[in-house]
Amino acid sequence: MHFAGKVWRLLVGIKDGFVLLFMLLFFGLLFAILTARPSPAQVREGALLLELDGVIVEERTPIDPLAALLAGSAPVGEYQARDLVRALDSAANDERITAVVLDLDRFLGAGQVHLAQVGEALDRVRAAEKPVLAYATAYADDGVFLASHASEVWVNPQGGAFVAGPGGNRLYYAGLLEKLNVNARVYKVGTYKSAVEPYTETGMSAPARENAQALYGALWEEWQANVKKARPGADLALVSGDPAAWVEAAEGDLATAALNAGLVDKLGTRIEFGERVAEVVGEDDWSEMPGSYPSTTLAAWLEENPWTTEGREIGVVTIAGEIVDGEAGPGTAGGTRIATLLDEALDRDFAGLVVRIDSPGGSALASEEIRDAILRHKAKDIPVAVSMANVAASGGYWVATPADRIFAEPETITGSIGIFAFIPTFEEAASSLGVTSDGVKTGPLSGQPDLIAGFTPEVDRILQASIEDGYNDFLTRVGASRNMTLDQVDRVGQGRVWDGGTARQLRLVDEYGGMEEALAWVARQAELGEEDWSPVYLGDDRGTADTILRQWLIGEEEAGGRDVFAMVSNQQRATVGMIILDAQRLLATSGIQAYCLVCPSPSIARAQAERGFDGFLRQVGAFLSD
């Protein structure tokens, strides 16, 4: 009876906790409604406000409300690139919008393809004779890139700019694993396949360094060319060549240094910036707060300007994030989830299919599952095009092989044709703790694979042979797709990563272009006129609850901006997150992997790290709540 009483009290406590939680949510929402300004989601005459407090992504990750509440911290904000472009293009032609405000105070970054895509849309707004005004306390590389497309760039006098360029260090754990007596068993094909190096080396190998230098060098050239074209007055040679002398010439004043180098146009506080915007778009009759101006948020604009479809449908399936087995996503490319989306659309009368890829790869099994589903659409004798975003490498290239035409941008990271498997075993660690293993075996494979006693030579040989066979499958698929021999594919394979420009020269890509070019090509192949088709994004069914929760959790987080020191200090959080992600990959990787380690851009890597940190906090929160 004593035990039953404890169980009953526990159940009552759980019930009371859920009642309290839902009451807090209810009254919180009620308070927000009662204290809101009139028609907060209404489109107003004035500025389109793009407050990018997070990262620009290909596909947004849904928020788990319970996990977010348990963690007690806001998730990283995410903004789909296609939503930003659609909003900017429609605002350019809407007489209610007289300017665009780009708030980059808490902008965490984006891949270069997305940056270029949004930058071009900002250029089209300016071509419509509507000013674009940008503001931030401090600009990092990706913020500088976007702001360079603005007609007027402001920075807080206490802030500045920090241009580092692509590249940097990552952590290596071989020494730690050796101290822990963990045996890192690696099975791979590809001289340049470096995804396992953090666990087997103490530093970057010579082939990996050679590949990374070529890749990052090409991306850095593209970055500088884009910024220089958008902002010819910027002295990038000074900023990137001798940054210490550049700052010292301004007597350590980072904001003045940014002004002197032509990265910004004016110094001013947020209130002064708001007053300047009000001069352009008019006074705000809803608010008397200093620096206020009439504006429309991105969410309100998209709500009033929904995606519409007319004519024949061209299906678009998005493969974004790491490719994994199962139902994961959106934001992560769960192979089963994406294959199901494609199969459920088989009975739709698509004029063609575009596969949008923004992935560094992952599970070879999941990649093949997605590839098979794409082939089932291709069997309907419709044109299939691939549009590569920031990254379409390793498994991301595997799923591109069914395409009739592959489009990529010069800044796209692709290739990495190679595979690996990584399995940690603990025979030395067990021995050091006094744990031994013994038993009766009827053959070389009895009891294998054994993570405690270690693998037999036969198991090692079998696993390596399986990897080599998988690599041959990869070469075969690429060769059939690109009309190349296996030797030709192998010469551009071996796990080597290429920028989009080089990949085109190597015949891994057909032509430059993004989604618009890929869709237009499919429409032409289907013999459709310009007004006779529209794209339909499979699985794009985000609910209102997710939008409200996202605005609630993210919109009020960190109301102020971050100066340069705060940006640098934030790397501690990102570093912890990266360690967590590396540990998860070490312990959770299953099956043959077609994954590219160096492929995500630095800004995306930082965002992934922050997600890893946030995910860790959520797990801790869930544990503590139990």
| Mean pLDDT lowest among 273-277, 337-341, 597-601 | 597-601
pLDDT score for 3: 53
Average pLDDT over residues 268-292: 91
More confident residue, 434 or 506: 506
Question: pLDDT tier at 457 (50, 70, 90 boundaries)?
Answer: confident
More confident residue, 61 or 127: 127
Question: pLDDT tier at 360 (50, 70, 90 boundaries)?
Answer: very high
Q: Is residue 93's pLDDT more than 90?
A: yes
Question: pLDDT tier at 310 (50, 70, 90 boundaries)?
Answer: confident
Question: pLDDT tier at 571 (50, 70, 90 boundaries)?
Answer: low
Q: Which helix (H) or strand (E) holds 56?
A: strand 54-57
Helices (H), 424-495: 427-432, 457-482, 486-492
Q: Is residue 284's pLDDT more than 90?
A: no
* N-terminal to C-terminal alpha carbon distance within the chain: 23
Please tell me whether residue 51 adopts helix, strand or coil conformation.
Answer: strand
- Return d(Cα 521, Cα 404) in angstroms, integer: 10
Question: pLDDT tier at 464 (50, 70, 90 boundaries)?
Answer: confident
- Return d(Cα 79, Cα 120) in angstroms, integer: 17
pTM for the full predicted model: 0.85
Q: Is 151 among the residues known to form the active site?
A: no
Q: Is residue 509's pLDDT more than 50?
A: yes
The whole-angstrom distance between residue 138's C-alpha and the CA centroid of its chain comes to 22
Q: What is the DSSP letter of 592?
A: -
Q: Determine contact, residues 511/405, Cβ cutoff 8 Å.
A: yes
- Write out pLDDT tens, residues 27-48: 555 555 444 444 445 788 999 9
Question: pLDDT tier at 546 (50, 70, 90 boundaries)?
Answer: low
Question: pLDDT tier at 157 (50, 70, 90 boundaries)?
Answer: very high
Q: Which listed residue (148, 188, 193, 603) is catalytic?
A: 193
CA distances 372 to 330, 353, 364, 377, Å, are 20, 14, 12, 9
Bridge pairing between strands 497-499 and 77-80: unpaired
- Write out pLDDT tens, residues 203-254: 999 999 999 999 999 999 999 999 999 999 999 998 988 899 999 999 999 9
- Return d(Cα 77, Cα 611) in angstroms, integer: 10
Q: Is residue 2's pLDDT more than 70?
A: no
Question: pLDDT tier at 456 (50, 70, 90 boundaries)?
Answer: confident
Q: Which listed residue (359, 394, 416, 603) is catalytic?
A: 394
Please tell me whether residue 184 adopts helix, strand or coil conformation.
Answer: strand
- Which residues, other chains included, contact 613 with Cβ-Cβ below 8 Å and sequence gap of 6+? 573, 574, 576, 577, 580
pLDDT score for 276: 96
| Backbone φ, ψ for residue 119 (5° rounding) | -60, -40
pLDDT score for 197: 87
Question: pLDDT tier at 6 (50, 70, 90 boundaries)?
Answer: low
| Backbone φ, ψ for residue 491 (5° rounding) | -65, -30
Which two structure tokens, joined as six digits, stand for 165?
A: 């360029």
Please tell me whether residue 314 adopts helix, strand or coil conformation.
Answer: strand
Cβ count near 607 (within 10 Å): 24
- Return d(Cα 334, Cα 340) in angstroms, integer: 10
- Of all residues in the chain, the percent with pLDDT exceeding 70 is 79
Nearest CA-CA partner of 299 in 98, 82, 50: 50
Question: What residue type is 357 in one-letter code?
Answer: I
Per-residue DSSP letters for 505-533?
HTTS--EE--HHHHHHHHHHHTT--TTSE
Which two structure tokens, joined as six digits, stand for 262?
A: 């032509």
Which two structure tokens, joined as six digits, stand for 132?
A: 């674009």
More confident residue, 309 or 15: 309
Question: pLDDT tier at 617 (50, 70, 90 boundaries)?
Answer: very low
Q: Is 193 among the residues known to form the active site?
A: yes
Please tell me whether residue 150 adopts helix, strand or coil conformation.
Answer: coil
- Return d(Cα 236, Cα 151) in angstroms, integer: 18
pLDDT score for 36: 46
- Return d(Cα 16, Cα 21) in angstroms, integer: 9
Average per-residue pLDDT in the chain? 84
pLDDT score for 563: 61
Q: Determine contact, residues 385/522, Cβ cutoff 8 Å.
A: yes
Length of the chain counted residue by residue? 626
pLDDT score for 624: 39
| Percent of residues in the chain assigned helix, strand, coil, to nearest 5 | 45, 20, 35
- Return d(Cα 219, Cα 246) in angstroms, integer: 23
Which two structure tokens, joined as six digits, stand for 398?
A: 């595997």
Q: Determine contact, residues 199/170, Cβ cutoff 8 Å.
A: no
